[in-house]
Amino acid sequence: MSNYHIKHLEEYFKVYRKSIREPEVFWEEIAEEHFLWRKKWDKVLDWDFSKPEVKWFQGAKLNVTENCIDRHLSTKADKTAILFEPNNPDEPAEHISYKQLSERVNQFANVLKEHGIKKGDRVCIYVPMIPELAISLLACARIGAIHSVVFAGFSSTALATRINDSDCKMVITADGSFRGKKSIDLKGIVDEALESCPGVENVLVAKRTKADIQMKEGRDKWLQPLLGNASKECNPEIMDAEDPLFILYTSGSTGKPKGMVHTTAGYMVYTAYTFKNAFQYRENDVYWCTADIGWITGHSYIVYGPLANGATTVLFEGVPSYPDFGRFWDIIQKHKINQFYTAPTAIRALAKHGAELLDNYDLTSLKVLGSVGEPINEEAWHWYNDNVGKGKSPIIDSWWQTETGGIMITPIPYVTPTKPTYATLPFIGIQPAIMDENGGELKGNQVEGRLCIKFPWPSIARTIWGNHQRYKETYFSTYKDMYFTGDGALRDEVGYYRITGRVDDVIIVSGHNLGTAPIEDAINEHPAIAESAIVGFPHDIKGSALYGYITLKDSGEYRNHDNLEKEINQLITDRIGPIAKLDKIQFTEGLPKTRSGKIMRRILRKIACNEMDNLGDTSTLLNPEIVQRIIDHKL
Ligand code: WT7
């Protein structure tokens, strides 16, 4: 394990330099030493960003679950792999050992096989944060099926779109989910979605809430009895390094979500290596990431990265506010959490309820605090550092994306000195570039522009499912031979990076990545609405919230606005999910447009953010008079 843990800053620089000068030698050593291969690769890296094409460890054969489970059995059979903390604190936590995980994954994999699932088939997973969720991912990986997890807060329409986009044959779900005091009828949502998904043959239903649900004869089956009858042995499917491991959807600048495809070997190597170093995970630590497995954070840093390291990873079903706002601290105390990874929006929500609450809990087990999903503002950073970490646990503000598969820019705790609001230095192997708007690289320090990555890393998404052209246009066409992240960034006087936020049509609300186009499409379905434009504006808890400018078809006569607002938000809830609801809706007679008819969102964004003195030149607009009218009626 010589070069697996970075121990001090000089070592970071040394290893970083090597990873840049000789990336193939570097990653080959990591791959050789720390993983189980059925056959080694013929070539470490093959790449061409102009196609774009990236292949890591070509020719190698492996199974990710052998690396995440089987190889730990000789030394860690009884160690807790997954520690499940239920929504209700009175329900006992469940410790699933590596041996039990192995058995449960194999049983699940056998059930999938009995239902005709084979290597390469797509399986949609729409399951709340219960052990079956993590186990279902691994069961797919065991037999080479490609999982496509859809966050169990998405609506039936959003679910159906994703099921159909990748032709999933099967859906795995649960009777319902617990979220604080509420329970949600997940199976009902699945039933509704499946009315428009002819390709789905079977639905496996985990029992959780015991809600009274409809089971469709021949299609739907209860999962637990099937698992009970299945064998605990299941030979792993031997996969090629570049076989797809999973698809995960993310929003983009058109209405259709992008199914990002991650492949087997590179994803495994990178998530495992980043997990170990970015969290300084040591044997016997208990690690907790509060994300949902429905997002990439959960895939990489609840399931694959931790398990590949034989770690204990906590899976929490509930919400930070139930039964009260001390729940996170209660869990940290109860399970003696060592590494805690959460989102700025959660920190802000908890900060609002006061630091006094923390005095009731023993948080001395904490060694590392993580932040992810959106820029962390200075106030939240200090609150986290002072009250949760007591100034002793470094905060790793880790920047990355669904597309990058793993952490890209982050301090390494106890190695990289932290700086509030800065993600600091690139991780080993990552070559960031800051670009100006004309395509030139801004070299040196103290520059600000758009963030690109110059060289492939092992866990970069390889394509968009079914649409390689869109992959190329979205990520590799803005700047020649570079991966464009869609984020703005600056590099300070010592070379530290600060992410300044999205520069495209994506808005991050409570750490969730939302495209404006799908929201506008949903709104425009309303018969009374002519046009809409969504922009983000600052919100003290969500980070950003959504502001909608909406024009009605019959602009002279507005109908009852209160009702209309409700109908708009209902449409958004139905088409996407409640996370995409608008905080503010302004009805207006028109939207500012360029002469070619494009909506000038930049102006609308500035108005929503109260930056009226800085609107720029509006005289070239098709309808410059509308700007003042929008300002006059601003909410
Ligand atoms: C976008 C990606 C990374 C997993 C969760 C989100 C923003 C993410 C940070 C951070 C500033 C951040 C970026 C990025 N973002 N982490 N530490 N500081 N911004 O994955 O849903 O694909 O969203 O989240 O804007 O592009 P995602």
pLDDT digits (tens, 9 = 90+) for 195-208: 999 999 999 999 99
Count CA within 13 A, CB hemisphere, residue 540. Answer: 5
Closest ligand 1 atom to residue 400 Cα is 3
Closest ligand 1 atom to residue 486 Cα is 26
Q: Which three-class secondary structure string do you get for 33-67?
A: HHCCCCECCCEEEEEECCCCEEEEEECCEECHHHH
Q: How far apart are the first and last CA of the chain?
A: 58
Q: How far is the CA of 373 from the centre of ligand 1 (A)?
A: 4
pLDDT at 557 over 90: no
Q: Copy the structure tokens of residue 262.
A: 């991650």
Query: Is the Cβ–Cβ distance between 582 and 547 less than 8 Å?
Result: yes
Which residue in this structure is represented by tokens 């699940």? 108
**Distance, CA of 219 to CA of 216 (rounded, Å):** 6
Q: What is the DSSP code (8-state) at residue 503?
A: -
Question: Considering the entire predicted model, what is its pTM?
Answer: 0.94
pLDDT at 252 over 90: no
Q: Which of 61-75, 250-264, 281-295 has the lowest mean pLDDT?
A: 250-264
**Distance, CA of 495 to CA of 485 (rounded, Å):** 19
Q: How far is the CA of 599 from the centre of ligand 1 (A)?
A: 26
pLDDT at 1 over 50: no
Most ligand 1 atoms within 8 A of CB, residue of 513, 542, 544 to mutate: 513
Query: Residue 73 carries which side chain, given as an amino acid letter?
Result: L
Q: What residues flank ligand 1, with Cβ below 6 Å?
A: 250, 295-297, 371-375, 397-402, 423, 485-487, 499, 502, 508, 513
Q: How far is the CA of 474 from the centre of ligand 1 (A)?
A: 16
Looking at residues 285-299, what average pLDDT do you find?
98
Most ligand 1 atoms within 8 A of CB, residue of 149, 372, 498, 506 to mutate: 372
pLDDT at 555 over 70: no
Q: How far is the CA of 502 from the centre of ligand 1 (A)?
A: 9
Strands, E assignment, 180-257: 182-184, 202-206, 220-222, 239-240, 244-250
Most ligand 1 atoms within 8 A of CB, residue of 345, 400, 498 to mutate: 400
Looking at residues 343-347, what average pLDDT do you find?
95
Which span out of 1-15, 446-460, 543-557 was modeled with the highest average pLDDT?
446-460
Q: How far is the CA of 401 from the centre of ligand 1 (A)?
A: 5
Q: How far is the CA of 323 from the centre of ligand 1 (A)?
A: 29
Q: How far is the CA of 369 from the centre of ligand 1 (A)?
A: 17
Q: How far is the CA of 141 from the centre of ligand 1 (A)?
A: 26
φ and ψ at residue 59, rounded to 5 degrees: 90, -15
Query: Residue 362 carries which side chain, given as an amino acid letter?
Result: D
Query: Residue 504 carries which side chain, given as an amino acid letter?
Result: D
Q: Indicate the SS3 state at residue 537.
A: strand
Which residue in this structure is represented by tokens 């779109």? 161
389-398 pLDDT, tens digit per residue, is: 999 999 999 9
Q: Copy the structure tokens of residue 24.
A: 């193939």
Q: How far is the CA of 499 from the centre of ligand 1 (A)?
A: 9
Most ligand 1 atoms within 8 A of CB, residue of 348, 399, 407, 487 to mutate: 399
Q: How far is the CA of 319 from the centre of ligand 1 (A)?
A: 21
pLDDT at position 37 is 98
Full set of structural domains in the chain with CATH:
9-489 (3.40.50.12780), 510-633 (3.30.300.30)
Does residue 52 have a cis bond before it (omega within 30 degrees)? yes
Q: Copy the structure tokens of residue 364.
A: 């001395």
**Distance, CA of 231 to CA of 218 (rounded, Å):** 23
491-509 pLDDT, tens digit per residue, is: 999 999 999 989 988 999 9
Query: Is the Cβ–Cβ distance between 407 and 389 less than 8 Å?
Result: no
What size, in residues, is the chain?
635
**Distance, CA of 503 to CA of 488 (rounded, Å):** 6
pLDDT at position 251 is 85
Q: How far is the CA of 70 from the centre of ligand 1 (A)?
A: 32
Q: How far is the CA of 382 from the centre of ligand 1 (A)?
A: 20
Closest ligand 1 atom to residue 402 Cα is 22
**Distance, CA of 451 to CA of 503 (rounded, Å):** 10
Closest ligand 1 atom to residue 499 Cα is 11
Query: Is the Cβ–Cβ distance between 296 and 402 less than 8 Å?
Result: yes
Q: What is the DSSP code (8-state) at residue 252?
A: -
Q: Whose CA is nearest to atom 17 of ligand 1?
A: 399
Q: How far is the CA of 400 from the centre of ligand 1 (A)?
A: 5
pLDDT at 62 over 70: yes
Q: Whose CA is nearest to atom 12 of ligand 1?
A: 374
Q: Give the helix ranges, DSSP H, for 282-413.
A: 296-298, 305-308, 327-335, 344-352, 378-383
pLDDT at position 560 is 66
Question: Exposed (0-12), middle (13-18) or buried (19+): which is 631, by Cβ within 10 Å?
Answer: middle
Closest ligand 1 atom to residue 511 Cα is 6
87-133 pLDDT, tens digit per residue, is: 999 999 999 999 999 999 999 999 999 999 999 999 999 999 999 99
Q: Whose CA is nearest to atom 18 of ligand 1?
A: 375
Looking at residues 316-332, what average pLDDT do you find?
97
**Distance, CA of 538 to CA of 541 (rounded, Å):** 9
φ and ψ at residue 55, rounded to 5 degrees: -135, 125
Each residue of 496-528: b (16+ CB within 10 Å) or e? bbbbbbbbbbbbbbbbbbbbbbbbbbbbeebee
Q: How far is the CA of 579 from the centre of ligand 1 (A)?
A: 16
pLDDT at position 227 is 98
ipTM of the complex: 0.99
Q: Whose CA is nearest to atom 11 of ligand 1?
A: 375
CA 374 vs CA 347, 365, 421, 525: distances in Å: 12, 26, 10, 30
Most ligand 1 atoms within 8 A of CB, residue of 452, 490, 508, 542 to mutate: 508
pLDDT at position 33 is 94
pLDDT at position 597 is 79
pLDDT at 483 over 80: yes
Q: Copy the structure tokens of residue 562.
A: 């209160």
Most ligand 1 atoms within 8 A of CB, residue of 251, 274, 292, 374 to mutate: 374
pLDDT at position 504 is 87
Each residue of 61-81: b (16+ CB within 10 Å) or e? bbbbbbbbbbbbbeebeebbb
pLDDT at position 3 is 63
Q: How far is the CA of 529 from the centre of ligand 1 (A)?
A: 32
Q: Whose CA is nearest to atom 19 of ligand 1?
A: 374
Closest ligand 1 atom to residue 485 Cα is 26
- By C-alpha distance, which of 75, 139, 61 is closest to 303? 139
**Distance, CA of 124 to CA of 521 (rounded, Å):** 24
Query: Is the Cβ–Cβ distance between 99 and 78 less than 8 Å?
Result: yes
pLDDT at position 256 is 87
